[in-house]
Amino acid sequence: MLFYKFQMSCHCARSSIGGELPEDRRTWRMQLGDLSAALSEGIDGEKVKVFLHRARQNYYQMLVSVDGFKELTPASLTSLFEKFFADHDEFKIKSIRVEDLEEITANKFAKIFDRANRSDNFNFDYYQVNQDLGLDSLENRTFKLSETICPEKRLTFEKATSKAEKLLADETFKEEFKRIYAKENAHHFYGQPVHYKIIAGNSNAALSLSNLLVAALYTNKRLVSRRINLISNVSENCYDEVDFEKILENAAGGTVIIELSGERVNTGQFAHAYEEVVNFIAETVKRFQRNTLCIFVELADKPGFAPQLTARLQDDLHIIELHEGAGNRDTALSYLKKLMTDDASALYTDEELLEAMGDKLTFSASDIYTIREKLFNNSLKNKTYPAYREIDRLSITSEDKSNDAYTDFQDMIGLVEQKALIEQIIAAHRVQKMRLDMNLDKQKAALHMCFTGTPGTAKTTVARLIAQILARDGVLKTGRFVECGRADLVAKYVGWTAKAVRAKFREARGGVLFIDEAYSLSDGEHATFGEEAINTIVQEMENHRDNVIVIFAGYPDKMKYFLDHNEGLRSRIAFHIDFPDYTPDELTEIFKLMAKKRGYEISDEVAEHCRKIFKRVAKKKNFGNGRFVRNLLEQAWLKQAQRIIKEKEDGTVTKEDLISFKVEDFDVNVDKKYKHERKLGFVL
């Protein structure tokens, strides 16, 4: 579908719509309405429809849509009008002249058309025409559509190659231009022999290169329209989308650019839902590929579902791969200056531009767009609105410590099995990315886990760090950590439990759902509701296997009984990891690490004294492991503070005093309760 706007002047007999205005303006409006209705029925069968949207004496502004591959020119449109008015003598048109014929986007056509519909002068079935022309497909929620008209109408081979150099295009563009401009080609539109995939660093660079490609094809009559439809931000729900199909159908004779980065697909992570999107887009493209040119855009740093889609299409379409190239500093400077001329407020000297380019010797088009964006933003603050020149950027301190999570995890004492598991998962993810890049089948496994151990063995801490580490390496999308227990999942009323469980999975999407003391779900006052929670968890684990890792935690014996009780749950857990009690030596190292993080220096005498405490309490049942160490350190700090105040009441407190412990500081309550076993019975 091609869309145009134009102006028409005409000379008519007296009392007709183009002559002197009749005394009764109502009659004139009725005549305009009759003309509008007749034109909208089509002036070349139904292929060319004209819509009158504004009129005054002898002068009319009109829209025209063409369903076909015949490009309109002022001469061809004039000829169509002359034939039409010859067949409709009631309008008494003597002569016409078509002026300012211009191809426009569907969106611009729709806006003018909508404005015409609100006028009382014109008579056409707005809703039927809107549907017939596909204008109702311009608004949607599952992808973003933008349109542009290629600025170049005619482009010689020499000018095309020169522009390619200025745009820092790769040699693949120059090679394709040789094929496009080859003399042996037919210079008439018969369909699309090939389609294209452009690999670039960002969307702006890809669009500039696409515009150049479309101009070359249009010049050689491989396209009849300069209208470009750009589809981006494709969501995982964009499958079986009627609007998407309508856009490709209406672009016949023109171009559709599809950016394949997706809305939520991370690099190296191909979301399961996008498999349906890939199937849908592939089938839709194959249906309309004969007449609609498709340019697939892959962003180098965010390939999204590009490998999957191109793999699906390569046996059905001839796809030529074109690359963003690079240029030297002189070429890059020239390109940057050209881009900067579009920003009226950006006034920079060559020296300032070169300084912004840094020390690099070669630049891609994406590099230049990035530099342009920074310079433009700086110019707004420093040149256009200089009152803001002295304002610094807001410094935001993030509480997210994900960058340090891996180091923190490696610094933890013991946990050999846990550390090995994380290394395996990260390695598997990196291999998976390589497979995706090579268009191989994905081999992604579920990563649900079960942690067993007594209190204080770092189960929760490790789970939280795992979420941060896997997010940093792209295995998880957000690294969100959601901790819950029976009280968060089991409701008191029928129907509430399943909703509560699903809500927790939604909250944890892209991260880890940590279910502590999971065995408690299968017992208690509301055991039936607990069973409902377990069944829903099993279902949601499967539904969210690609975007939520579930980690169950609890005592070893109770967790064994819990998993034996539900075989479906056990079969979905990939890793069963035991967290053994710490040895006295490990507890001593944990103590030193905790103290160091709090700024204390631990002497050998204090460390040995604490090791003896740990050796004694480690024999006791459920002594608390790491929790005991933390409690011991915190109570020792209180004892130390009391001692310092007494000792230095009339003196000076030094830094050494504040960061040092003495052995007597550890004569605290948390230790005393383990010194003597409690005995039950009577003393006589």
Please indicate whether residue 198 or residue 387 has the higher confidence score (pLDDT): 198
Write the DSSP string, 436-469.
Answer: HHTTPPP------EEEEE-TTSSHHHHHHHHHHH
pLDDT at position 401 over 60: no
The angle, 0 to 180 degrees and rounded to 10, between the axes of the packed helices 274-288 and 306-313 is 40
Least confident of 436-440, 508-512, 577-581, 647-651: 436-440
CA distance 31 to 593: 91
pLDDT at position 268 over 60: no
Cα-Cα-Cα-Cα torsion 548, 553, 556, 558, nearest 10 degrees, comes to -100
Two tokens, residue 200: 């670039």
Res 269: pLDDT: 44
Q: How confident is the model at residue 680 (pLDDT cuts 50, 70, 90)?
A: very low
Res 400: pLDDT: 44
CA distance 497 to 519: 16
Using DSSP, state whether 248 is helix, strand or coil: helix
pLDDT at position 321 over 60: yes
* Mean pLDDT calculated for residue range 279-285: 92
pLDDT at position 520 over 80: yes
Residue 152: is it exposed, middle or buried by C-beta count within 10 angstroms (0-12/13-18/19+)? middle
Note whether 555 and 454 are within 8 A (CB). Answer: yes
CA distance 317 to 633: 69
pLDDT at position 231 over 80: yes
Strands 548-554 and 511-516: parallel
Model confidence pLDDT, tens digit, residues 451-483: 998 888 888 888 888 888 888 777 787 778 888
pLDDT at position 683 over 50: no
* Mean pLDDT calculated for residue range 418-424: 82
Res 17: pLDDT: 53
pLDDT at position 177 over 90: yes
Q: How confident is the model at residue 344 (pLDDT cuts 50, 70, 90)?
A: very low
* Mean pLDDT calculated for residue range 375-389: 69
Model confidence pLDDT, tens digit, residues 125-153: 667 777 777 776 667 667 889 999 998 88
Which letter does DSSP use for residue 92 in this model?
Answer: -
Res 381: pLDDT: 65
Please indicate whether residue 572 or residue 195 has the higher confidence score (pLDDT): 195
Within 10 angstroms of residue 638's Cβ, the number of other Cβ atoms is 12
Please indicate whether residue 528 or residue 18 has the higher confidence score (pLDDT): 528
Note whether 233 and 144 are within 8 A (CB). Answer: yes
Which letter does DSSP use for residue 22 in this model?
Answer: P
Res 380: pLDDT: 66
Strands 195-200 and 293-299: parallel
CA distance 133 to 250: 8
Q: Which domains does the chain have, with CATH numbers?
A: 2-137 (3.30.70), 144-325 (3.40.50), 328-388 (no CATH), 402-579 (3.40.50.300), 584-672 (1.10.8.60)
What's the one-letter identity of residue 228?
A: I
Res 356: pLDDT: 79
Write the DSSP string, 109-153.
Answer: HHHHHHHHHTSSS----HHHHHHHTTGGGS--SSSEEEEEE-S-S
Helix (H) or strand (E) holding 199: strand 195-200
CA distance 463 to 603: 32
Question: Which residue has tokens 């008015």?
Answer: 85
pLDDT at position 199 over 60: yes
Most confident of 24-28, 259-263, 525-529: 259-263
Res 30: pLDDT: 65
Q: How confident is the model at residue 374 (pLDDT cuts 50, 70, 90)?
A: confident
CA distance 393 to 171: 41
pLDDT at position 26 over 70: no
CA distance 564 to 566: 5
Within 10 angstroms of residue 285's Cβ, the number of other Cβ atoms is 21
CA distance 174 to 187: 20
* Mean pLDDT calculated for residue range 248-254: 92
Least confident of 111-115, 192-196, 441-445, 562-566: 441-445
Model confidence pLDDT, tens digit, residues 627-645: 888 888 888 888 888 888 8
Most confident of 520-524, 591-595, 677-681: 591-595
pLDDT at position 673 over 50: yes
pLDDT at position 4 over 60: yes
Least confident of 130-144, 378-392, 481-495, 516-530: 378-392
pLDDT at position 676 over 60: no
pLDDT at position 176 over 90: yes
- Most distant CA atoms of the chain, gap in Å: 133
Q: What percentage of the chain exceeds 70 in pLDDT?
A: 81
Please indicate whether residue 553 or residue 360 has the higher confidence score (pLDDT): 553
* Mean pLDDT calculated for residue range 77-92: 81
What's the one-letter identity of residue 86?
A: A
* Mean pLDDT calculated for residue range 390-399: 48
pLDDT at position 10 over 60: yes
Indicate the average pLDDT of the chain: 80
Going from the C-alpha of 601 to that of each of 34, 377, 592, 628, 654, the distances in angstroms are 95, 49, 8, 20, 14
Strands 93-103 and 2-12: antiparallel
Res 567: pLDDT: 77
Using DSSP, state whether 36 is helix, strand or coil: helix
Least confident of 8-17, 636-645, 664-673: 8-17
pLDDT at position 397 over 50: no
